[in-house]
Structure 1
């Protein structure tokens, strides 16, 4: 008989898990330390990302850049390809894998959420959630203040209008805007 999965293993597998867990909390604290260093470094010293944050990220390709006042939950689930860019104030709640393709640009205050809370109010009150990945293709432009919800994929070369709430997948080359985001033009 195999041992039961840890809450971290359930999180990484996309299963329902309890986010109030000592191992998961330790991972969050490591990320918070790296984010604090990143956000308090002088921009010239930070370069693409602060040293602790760059080391923590799952992938941080050459010439990728994360501006200050950034926040993430774990860091190791974030994968940024060549020349990917996050402007000031981006928030990535990366309980699952987040891929940001080459040359994709995220405007100020873009938010990416992977946590999907339980629909049952009792389980939600017990902090039961699951983690759904987010994929942003290459050459994507996401306008400031947009929110990308759990499980969404955005195709290559797509444009997401500022302030949009993206609840569903966006096809390659599409332009979407609104709340919820819909194909425009």
Structure 2
């Protein structure tokens, strides 16, 4: 961290009304962009690293946007690598356990997303619990409402995978590179393809 990073971290950890510290701290590295509504909250139960692991002289940004009444819960030591993005929309809640979000990956939370401890999320992964545009019928009813995502403990999500709304992924499973997950995946499985299908059960990984 340089002096500017240290000052930013000091402010958010000690003076910002947006941050509720319990056992953790915000660790804000250079080129971090934080756009946080005055009513949004970050609840820190463990340390949260923003734009970590950048290359020397890199200008890659990490982006966090929390809209009105958005809530971000950090329940385990979590790292956002350079180039990654987290967006929590109005009244939505994102909960992160111990793990990391690798470079150029995006979590966009419109409703509720929970990611358990041990998350290994590779580069260019997209996790969306909503479509961000409404599809209406003749009576103006919304046909494509956002639906929560629950990703269990010790889940490995491969490079370029897409996790869509309403999905539950069981503990210990692996999502293959480039997979598009639009249905539930049981625990301790390998799922690949578009749409993702289970190809192996009763697996363990480390």
TM over 0.5: yes
Q: Deviations over 1:116-173 (max 9, x none)?
A: 455547789x998522111100000000110001010100000000100001000000
Which residue of the other structure, out of 81, 94, 107, is the alignment partner of 1:78?
A: 94
The 3 A distance-change label for structure 1 pair 38 and 177 is: farther
Distance of aligned partners of 1:80 and 1:71 in 2 relative to their CA distance in 1, 3 Å threshold: same
Query: Following superposition of structure 1 onto structure 2, how do residues 104-183 of structure 1 map, counting pairs within 5 Å?
Result: 104-116=119-131, 118-120=134-136, 129-183=144-198
CA–CA distance in structure 2, aligned partners of residues 93 and 53 of structure 1: 10
Aligned to 1:66: 80
TM-score, with structure 2 as normaliser: 0.59
Note the residue ranges of structure 1 that are not aligned, 5 or more in a row.
1-29, 31-36
Answer 1 or 2: higher relative contact order, Cα 8 Å, separation at least 6. Answer: 1
**Secondary structure in 2 aligned to 1:105?**
strand
Deviation at 1:48, TM superposition (A): 1.3
Count of residues paired in the alignment: 144
Counterpart in the other structure of 2:49: 48
Partner in structure 1 of residue 21 of structure 2? none
Please name the residue that 1:88 is paired with: 103
Contact 1:89 1:109 in 2 (8 A): yes
Give the structure with the larger strand fraction: 2
Q: TM-score, normalised by structure 1?
A: 0.65
Q: Cα offset for 1:59?
A: 1.2
- Checking the alignment, whether the CA contact within 8 Å between 1:154 and 1:171 is kept in structure 2 is yes
Deviation at 1:62, TM superposition (A): 3.8
Higher helix share: 1
